[in-house]
Amino acid sequence: MTNLDGRQRGIVPDERANLIGRLLPFIAHRRLEAGDRLPSERELAERFGVGRGAVREALAVLETLRLIERRPNSGIYLRPAEKQGSIEAIVLQAELGIPLTEAEVREVVELRRILEMQGVRLAAERRQAADIARLDGILEATDRAIAAGENPADHDAAFHLALVEATGNHVFLRVVNAFYLMSRNRRRAFFADGTRAPLSQSQHRAMRDAVAAGDAERAEAAMGGHLRGVESYWIELLERRARGD
């Protein structure tokens, strides 16, 4: 889901994603819940005007993501996604433009803090010269993007993923990458007006310096301050939406 330089890609091909992007709202509109039976492949193919093979491929993706299950001689059923669904299922939902619920956004924000606070400590303890060089390269590219008036959201993701990569734990990197895939559009919105990028860049440099110095306490403090500003933005946004502002 990501290259080592932080570039990201989607989790399903565009054609299949298009059909899945129609299936998921259909399920939501029907108010189907965990344990409910979905229409058959033939019924879904007729409804969406596609071949059964296309439906079968789309359902295979949803099955892999643990959103549905096939029961022999019975049919296709929804699984309890909040308990059994994969984190990639949330990524797919975000990629298809299906908004997360308020509860999901709050939980994702909380998860980010848990992961990245620990991650930056491990990065300070385990970083290698190549990791610091990677961070420096991303910071320089971000400076150029800001100077050119570009949205630095992708550079922001690359920096945070490079910090996690410096832990040397590639399973950890894959988990955190899923978070950055699901939050891609929100990050672009966060940086859209151009006012937040300079402060974010300054905070990134503080994290880089602490990690380079091997100072886990300072690195964690810098990350904590950085995340508090981002979290307050999203919580305020959720509260405004709840009020209908």
Average pLDDT over residues 123-133: 98
Q: Is the pLDDT of residue 9 over 50?
A: no
Q: pLDDT by residue (tens digit) across 70-94?
A: 998 899 998 877 776 667 777 777 7
244 pLDDT tier (thresholds 50, 70, 90): low
65 pLDDT tier (thresholds 50, 70, 90): confident
The pLDDT, as a whole number, for residue 164 is 97
State pTM to two decimals: 0.74
Q: Is 77 helix (H, G, I), strand (E, B) or coil?
A: strand
Question: Structure tokens of 206?
Answer: 């503080």
How far apart are the C-alpha atoms of 12 and 188, rounded to whole Å? 21
DSSP 151: -
Q: Which of 185, 231, 184, 191 is nearest to 7 (CA)?
A: 184
Q: How many residues does the chain have?
A: 245
106 pLDDT tier (thresholds 50, 70, 90): confident
CA 112, distance to chain mean position in Å, is: 10
The pLDDT, as a whole number, for residue 15 is 65
Window from 81-95, 105-119, 140-154, 211-225 with minimum mean pLDDT: 81-95
Distances (CA, A) of 160 to 105, 155, 203, 236: 19, 9, 12, 23
Average pLDDT over residues 125-135: 98
The pLDDT, as a whole number, for residue 242 is 62
Question: Which residue has tokens 């500003």?
Answer: 229
**Highest-confidence segment of 29-33, 126-130, 173-177:** 126-130
How far apart are the C-alpha atoms of 217 and 62, rounded to whole Å? 42
How far apart are the C-alpha atoms of 199 and 72, rounded to whole Å? 56
Cβ–Cβ < 8 Å for 11, 1: yes
Residues of the chain with pLDDT > 90, as a percent, come to 48
Distances (CA, A) of 82 to 103, 129, 166, 177, 220: 11, 40, 31, 20, 30
Q: Is the pLDDT of residue 122 over 50?
A: yes
**Highest-confidence segment of 23-37, 149-163, 185-199:** 149-163
- Domains annotated on the chain, with CATH: 14-88 (1.10.10.10), 101-243 (1.20.120.530)
The pLDDT, as a whole number, for residue 4 is 35
- Average pLDDT of every residue of the chain: 85
SS3 content of the chain, % helix, strand, coil (to 5): 70, 5, 25
The pLDDT, as a whole number, for residue 29 is 72
The pLDDT, as a whole number, for residue 3 is 41
Q: pLDDT by residue (tens digit) across 197-223?
A: 999 999 999 999 999 999 999 999 999
Exposed / middle / buried, residue 163 (Cβ in 10 Å: 0-12, 13-18, 19+) = buried
